[in-house]
Amino acid sequence: MAKIRNLPDLLGVIPHLLGFHPAESLVVVVLVDGRVELTARADLPDLQPSGHVELLIDRLLLRWPAARVWVVAYSSSESAGWGVLQRAETHLGDALAGEPLCVTGGWYRAGHSSGPRSRHDPSSTQSAATATLHGLQARPSRAELRHSVRADPSRALEAERAWAGAAERAQRLAARDRPAAMASAVAAALAAPGSVPRDDLVWLAMLTRDPDARDRALVAITGDNAETCVELWSRVVRACPQGVQGQPLALLGWAAWVSGDGALQCICLEELELLHESLPLQRLLDQLNQAIVPPSAWNQLRLELVAALAPLDLSQVGADQGAGGVGQSHGEGADDQVA
């Protein structure tokens, strides 16, 4: 990964660690033994009330007692940014990794509000180039990241037709056969997630409505394939009609957590709240987020979940695929691709 040699390198890599260029935010970078353990972001307005910055820091240091922490404010108002930074600096004490930084537009100051201004051009840094080579994308804004998990309203009719077809298909599939159907469908889709047709994406979404099938999709996520699962479940979410994305959004959030994409994990939780959902996977993912549980915990948790699952009945999987499995055409819109 990128080496941080100076302050421009730090500022250059932050958008790639977050997945987007922050605005009106406090960013904290947690280091343990010189390695980045966490990059987190909070809205500056949410941190203005007394004790909120301090609580955030306490939670981080409770998780990583030996950590050193960088704090960077991004704001159109230097006074607002430095107000939060000064409180963070005071509360961190010896845990502060280096001078606080405040970024305003194309400039930044280090150390204090009266320090010299330096040019802020994150995309020109060596650390940003290295992060890009490693596949770490930096979207222009958090809003663009949110847009990436929303359905395209211009294709709502196609989504509704696919959903109706999936509902008819689900009626023909016995409940006991749905977990095996999900396991088979996910395995096929993960082989080429970018080329799965809309009908098959929506079929995955329909299967998540069965709790046992949903759990099969969850345990299909591993540390090795998490980024591929993010691609797949992002496309599933975008392929669905508006209002029925709850379970796929929760699975996308889990895949994001396992892959280390905390920003996408939080976006999924926020979108679920907008849908007024209260799903078991959603609540557990939110608890993991609030407790700042690292993705490395998934290995043991997954083993426990797999052990608790009932054995699959594979006898009907072939029959279901004959009726239109993942990667096979089954009716109008089968070749419709969701970007």
Which CATH number belongs to the domain containing residue 84 in this structure? 3.40.140
Give the whole-angstrom CA distance, residue 321 versus residue 186: 12
Among 203, 181, 211, 224, which Cα is nearest to 309's? Answer: 211
Residue finishing a domain among 105, 123, 140: 140
Shared domain for 174 and 109, answered yes or no, is: no
Q: What is the pLDDT of residues 79-93, one digit of tens each?
A: 999 999 999 999 999
Tokens coding 288: 């993991």
At residue 327, the pLDDT reads: 35
Domain boundary pick from 118, 140, 162: 140
Instruction: Please indicate, yes or no, whether residues 156 and 128 belong to a single structural domain of this protein.
Output: no
Q: Which residues of 58-69 are buried (b: 16+ CB within 10 A; e: fewer)?
A: eebbebbeebbb
Q: In the predicted model, what is the mean pLDDT of residues 59-79?
A: 95
pLDDT at 127: 85
Do 135 and 152 reside in the same domain of the chain?
no
State yes or no: pLDDT of 330 exceeds 90: no
Residue 308, classified by CB atoms within 10 Å of its CB into exposed (0-12), middle (13-18) or buried (19+), is: exposed
Asked if residue 333 belongs to a domain, the reply is no
268 lies in some domain: yes
DSSP string, 163-178: HHHHHHHHHTS-GGGH
Among candidate residues 104, 106, 101, the one with its CA nearest the CA of residue 29? 101
Tell me: the pLDDT tens digits for 38-47? 999 999 999 9
Instruction: Give a yes or no: residue 331 inside a domain.
Output: no
307 occurs within a structural domain:
yes
Number of domains in the chain: 2
pTM of the model: 0.81
Read off the pLDDT of residues 95-139 as tens digits, 9 standing for 90 and up. 999 999 999 989 999 999 999 999 999 988 888 888 777 777 888
Whether 301 and 210 share a structural domain: yes
Which range of residues forms the domain containing residue 56?
Answer: 7-140
* C-alpha to C-alpha distance for 262 and 264, rounded to whole angstroms: 5
